[in-house]
């Protein structure tokens, strides 16, 4: 079979590999759909997870996926061949430094346990929709880290796939005051369709002005602030984070979900004086959030169609990557695989 692996900066290949086998505690899943994540694009661009050390061996990618169990290893319980599943990739770091990646027709899933790594899918849930459980749970994990409440006023930096998934999960949590900021109008349109109450193009209005207008404003220790309770950074743009930090109110909360490639200067005096809570959110050990996101999908709680902009056959892998890299045209790009056994 073919497996997408990163060999160096800008060098991703579909390598011919042996079919995976299920060892003790493993299952083999026939992949039906796999999303292309911004982190996948980052791994390709940097030539590895961090871009600092050269790869000692090629890096398999792909971690947002769903499919059907086709083989069981010794010791696997409560899982049957033919079971439709979404996979939480945290165990074994699937597509993120581990030995397995889901941009392939088949994948070995280690530590196969229902409710931790494997989540059964109702028959009515499409595999591409199920694959959204991973990025949705990334957004939900950040919101849980920030202890977001329905009454909170929330601002999201960046309307890429994770920013859009965060809008959906805010609506799931009952939050109604949701602002999101980006430079790409098509992505802001998707955010509005998902339930954002303010979707602002920062090329037309500064984030500071838009938030002061919608969330209110004030002055503390001679410095202005806005009434936003929680900022979710899904952009990875230093200027946007610096602006948000500079207008954060007393005891505002800031979650960093984006991938930053370089250090960013932070005004620690302001952090101290305003008791700003800032936390990273990498969405590891989030089986509960994964299950909650999948339950939301299965219940049809929201129309998630705006999240998926394109679907490509795996044979068009490089075309799909190019589309996923085009912020003006795409949101979540899905790879689809033949559902018949090889």
Q: Could you give the angle at which helices 287-299 and 161-172 cross, rounded to 10 degrees? A: 80
Q: In what order do the strands lie in the sheet with 11-16?
A: 11-16, 2-8, 59-60
> What are the Cα distances from residue 89, in Å, to 79, 92, 108?
17, 7, 11
pLDDT in the model for residue 341: 45
- 141 pLDDT above the threshold of 80: yes
- 37 pLDDT above the threshold of 70: yes
Q: Are 75 and 22 in contact (CB under 8 A)?
A: no
Bin 58: left if φ > 0, else alpha if -120 < ψ < 50, else beta.
beta
Look up residue 61 and give its DSSP letter.
Answer: B
Q: How many Cβ atoms sit within 10 Å of the Cβ of residue 189? A: 14
Pairing of strands 64-72, 59-60: unpaired
User: CATH topology for 2-132+304-336?
Assistant: Quinone Oxidoreductase; Chain A, domain 1 (3.90.180)
Instruction: Compute the average pLDDT of residues 195-203.
Output: 97
- Confidence class for position 182, pLDDT limits 50, 70, 90: very high
Alpha-carbon distance of 27 to 291, in angstroms, equals 19
Q: What is the value of pTM for the model shown? A: 0.94
* Partners of 178 in beta bridges: 154
Alpha-carbon distance of 187 to 336, in angstroms, equals 23
Query: In 3D, which of 135, 141, 181, 184 has the Cα closest to residue 157?
Result: 181
Bin 63: left if φ > 0, else alpha if -120 < ψ < 50, else beta.
alpha
Helix, coil or strand: residue 2: strand
* Partners of 57 in beta bridges: none
pLDDT in the model for residue 34: 98
Q: Are 20 and 106 in contact (CB under 8 A)?
A: yes
- 342 pLDDT above the threshold of 60: no
Alpha-carbon distance of 157 to 264, in angstroms, equals 16
Q: Are 106 and 31 in contact (CB under 8 A)?
A: yes
- Confidence class for position 338, pLDDT limits 50, 70, 90: confident
Q: Are 255 and 232 in contact (CB under 8 A)?
A: yes
**Ranges for all domains in the chain classified under CATH 3.40.50.720:** 138-280
Tell the CATH superfamily of the 138-280 domain. Answer: NAD(P)-binding Rossmann-like Domain (3.40.50.720)
Q: Residues near 111 by Cβ (< 8 Å), separated by ≥ 6?
A: 25, 26, 91, 92, 117
pLDDT in the model for residue 76: 96
Q: Are 301 and 172 in contact (CB under 8 A)?
A: yes
% of the chain beyond a pLDDT of 70: 98
Instruction: Map tokens 């939900």 to a residue.
Output: 140
How many residues does the structure list for the chain? 342
**Ranges for all domains in the chain classified under CATH 3.90.180.10:** 2-132+304-336
Instruction: Map tokens 């004086």 to a residue.
Output: 273
């Amino acid at each position: 079979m073919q497996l997408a692996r990163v060999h160096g900066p800008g060098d991703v290949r579909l390598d011919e590999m042996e079919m995976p086998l299920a060892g003790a505690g493993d299952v083999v899943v026939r992949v039906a759909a796999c999303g292309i994540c911004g982190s996948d694009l980052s791994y390709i661009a940097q030539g590895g997870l961090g871009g600092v050390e050269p790869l000692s061996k090629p890096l398999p990618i792909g971690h947002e996926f769903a499919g059907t169990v086709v083989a069981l290893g010794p010791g696997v319980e409560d899982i049957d061949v033919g079971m439709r599943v979404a996979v939480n990739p945290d165990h074994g770091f699937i597509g993120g430094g581990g030995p397995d990646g889901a941009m392939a027709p088949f994948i070995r899933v280690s530590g196969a346990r229902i409710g931790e790594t494997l989540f059964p899918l109702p028959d009515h849930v499409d595999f591409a929709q199920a694959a959204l459980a991973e990025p949705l749970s990334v957004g939900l994990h950040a919101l849980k880290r920030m202890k977001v409440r329905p009454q909170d006023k929330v601002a999201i930096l960046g309307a890429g796939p994770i920013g859009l998934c965060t809008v959906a999960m805010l609506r799931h949590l009952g939050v109604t005051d949701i602002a999101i900021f980006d430079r790409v109008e098509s992505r802001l349109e998707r955010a509005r369709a998902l339930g954002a109450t303010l979707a602002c193009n920062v090329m037309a209005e500064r984030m500071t002005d838009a938030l002061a207008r919608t969330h209110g404003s004030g002055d503390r220790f001679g410095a202005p602030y806005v009434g936003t309770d929680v900022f979710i950074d899904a952009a990875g743009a230093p200027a946007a984070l610096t602006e948000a930090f500079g207008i954060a109110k007393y005891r505002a909360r800031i979650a960093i979900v984006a991938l930053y490639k370089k250090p960013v200067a932070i005004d620690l005096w302001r952090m101290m004086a305003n008791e700003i809570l800032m936390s990273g959110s990498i969405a590891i050990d989030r089986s509960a959030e994964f299950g909650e996101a999948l339950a939301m999908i299965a219940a049809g709680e929201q129309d998630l169609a705006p999240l998926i902009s394109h679907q490509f056959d795996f044979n068009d892998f490089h075309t799909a990557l190019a589309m996923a890299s085009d912020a003006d045209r795409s949101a979540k790009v899905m790879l689809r695989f033949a559902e018949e056994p090889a």
